[in-house]
Structure formats: C-alpha cells, structure tokens
Amino acid sequence: MKETATSCTVVGALIVTIMFAAAITVPGGNNQDTGLPMFLDKKVFMLFIISDALSLLSASTSLLMFLSVLTSRYAEEDFLRSLPRKMIIGLSTLIFSIATMMITFCASLFIILQGKSWVVIPVICLASVPVALFAWMQFRLLIDMVISTYGSRILDKKPGS
C-alpha cells in the first residue's frame, strides 16, 4: 500500500504541475489589450478550462489522499477502514484526473488546430490509450479494495434490514 501510494503521489504531483501550467498558459494566448484569453467565446475553450480545473482539483485531492496514507500512523485498526478508504478515494480521483487531463489536451488541440480534423481525430483516439491503460492496470486493485473494505458489510447484511 505504501509503495502504491508513493508512486501515485509522484503521478499526482506531475498532473497538478502540468494542469496548473496549462491553466495559466491558455491555448492561443491572451489579448494584448484586455488580457483575456483569445478564444474565451468559444465553447471548446470552456471545455478546456472546465476539464483543466477538474483535473487540477481531482489530482490535488488524490495527492492529499496518498500523502495521508504515507503519513498514517499504521495502527491495526487503520488497515481495516481508514487506509483502504483513502486509497480508494486516491485511486478514483487519480483516474478521473488523468481522464480530464486528456480531455483538456484534446480540447486544446481543437482550439489550436481549427479545421484540421484529419490531425485532431486520430490524436484524440490515441489520447484515450493512456487513460484506458492506467484505469485497466489499477482497476483490479481498486475493485479488490472496495470489496475487502465494504463487501463484508454488504454480504453480512441480514434479510429485511
């Protein structure tokens, strides 16, 4: 659990850094007169901003969850509920952050390469590969932790209660 939290902390920190940088250096730059982004009126720019913010916030949440796992006191009762819950939240928000990071990337391509769908569409298809790979590699761990943490409560439930 500690090794997983350590490696996921690195990934989360990288995503936070990238998404923060993407938020302040918007595609197309800013208008010299007003200081506002050039593509502020475009719907795809709003998609860019929203997905960037979601990725930044979910990566920050993930980072905090993994750091709380690493700084836990590791008492016996922590391994039953607290640590698995933190890992479940951390992994879920990290997967969501990677997905929204790729949406941000695709939105910026749409903004920058307007009218060049022959380039944008294949790149968008390829952008889904890292999200799918990470989710596929971590999904089993996530499911096992959910079942071991919450499954006993569901299975031990008495009929009629």
Burial class (CB in 10 A: 0-12, 13-18, 19+), 73: exposed
Torsion of CA 126, 101, 16, 72, to 10 degrees: -90
Q: How far is the C-alpha of 59 from the C-alpha of 13, rounded, in Å?
A: 7
Q: Strand, coil or helix: what is 92? A: helix
Alpha-carbon span 83 to 134, nearest angstrom: 21
- Domain of 136? 2-29+40-155
Q: What is the overall mean pLDDT for the chain?
A: 87
From 71, 65, 70, 68, select the one nearest 89 (Cα to Cα): 65
pLDDT value at residue 160: 55
Q: What is the pLDDT of residues 37-70, one digit of tens each?
A: 888 888 999 999 999 999 999 999 999 999 999 9
Q: Give CA angle at 151 (92, 96), nearest 5°.
A: 10
In a domain, 11, yes or no: yes
81 is a domain residue: yes
At 153 the pLDDT is 59
Of the CA atoms within 13 Å of residue 160, those in its CB half-sphere come to: 0
Query: Does some domain include residue 44?
Result: yes
- The tens place of each residue's pLDDT in the chain, 161 residues long, gives 889 899 999 999 999 999 999 998 888 888 888 888 888 888 999 999 999 999 999 999 999 999 999 998 877 777 777 888 999 999 999 999 999 999 999 899 888 888 787 888 888 888 889 888 888 888 888 888 888 888 765 555 555 55
Is residue 35 a part of any domain in this protein? no
Q: Please give the sequence-ordered ranges of beta strands (E in DSSP) within the chain, or none if there are none.
A: none
Tell whether 161 is covered by a domain.
no
- Split into its structural domains, the chain has a count of 1
Q: Is the dihedral of CA 89, 91, 92, 96 positive or negative?
A: positive
Supply 148's token pair.
């071991």
| Residue 23 forms part of a structural domain | yes
Structure tokens at 60: 């920050």
What pTM did the predictor assign?
Answer: 0.84
CA distance 83 to 75: 10
3-state helix, strand and coil shares in percent for the chain, rounded to the nearest 5: 80, 0, 20
**Is residue 34, in this structure, part of any structural domain at all?**
no
Chain centre distance of CA 45: 19
